[in-house]
Amino acid sequence: MTPDAFRKLALAEIDAVYRLAYHLAPRPDLADDYVQETYLRAFRAKTDFQLNDFGVRPYLFKILHNVIHSAFAREARQPGLLDNVEDLHTQSTDRVSGSVDLEHLDWDAMDERLKQAVQALPLAHRTVFLLCAVENMKYREIAEIVEIPLGTVMSRLHSARQQLLKQLTGLATEQRLGRSVQRDKVD
């Protein structure tokens, strides 16, 4: 694949990469940095990329995943900056929603409690959940992106869904969806 063809494919996915970075970053300003680093690494390694059935999106998500985890590891090694890496996660739940244009999910129109519930998921669960629910990735693709076994993907996705269900039961009841939620649990 020529460098120009790779660049064209990669840049076509920048909105999806930014969307995922925005929801995984502890602060909105870091999402820009993560996306920039992702594309820098992707363009440097363009000769290693092999186009397959999944396209370039999983390749970019994998790079983004590595960029974010490297950043979290760097922060965790900094003495005195954080007591725990999970502090980054806590910071991410406090951020103000930006004006990000999302294809599949309109966070600005969503009930704030739903947004907070998703943001409250542990990073590993949130990553798997967003890749599946928002980016519509297959389990096998997610496993390759985050470099975990397929069973772990399914386990984390199940746990994320259970946590969301538990946190959002009150919202469902309030919105008069409680009966259908209870029926789904029985079926």
| pLDDT number for residue 172 | 59
pLDDT at 183 over 50: no
| pLDDT number for residue 78 | 67
Q: Out of 26-30, 68-72, 81-85, 112-116, which region has the weakest mean confidence (pLDDT)?
A: 81-85
20 close to 52: Cβ distance less than 8 angstroms: no
For the residues 93-114, what does the mean pLDDT come to? 47
More confidently predicted of 110 and 51: 51
Contacts of 100 (CB under 8 A, 6+ apart): 18, 19, 22, 107
Query: Residue 126: which of 79, 95, 161 has the closest Cα?
Result: 161
DSSP state of 109: G
Q: Out of 4-8, 130-134, 148-152, 167-171, which region has the weakest mean confidence (pLDDT)?
A: 167-171
| Distance between start and end Cα atoms, the chain | 49
Percent of the chain scoring above 70 in pLDDT? 72
2 close to 47: Cβ distance less than 8 angstroms: no
For the residues 99-111, what does the mean pLDDT come to? 45
| Residue 18, φ and ψ in degrees, nearest 5 | -65, -40
Confidence of residue 173 (pLDDT cuts 50, 70, 90): low
Any alpha helices (H) in the chain, and if so which ranges?
Answer: 3-11, 14-24, 28-44, 57-77, 86-93, 112-120, 123-133, 139-146, 150-174, 178-186
Report pLDDT digits (tens) over 126-145.
999 999 988 888 999 999 99
Confidence of residue 47 (pLDDT cuts 50, 70, 90): confident
CATH dotted code for 3-186: 1.20.140.160
pLDDT at 86 over 70: no
pLDDT at 115 over 90: no
For the chain, the C-alpha Rg in angstroms (whole number) is 18
**Cα(128)–Cα(119) distance, rounded to whole angstroms?**
13
**Cα(83)–Cα(102) distance, rounded to whole angstroms?**
33
| pLDDT number for residue 151 | 94
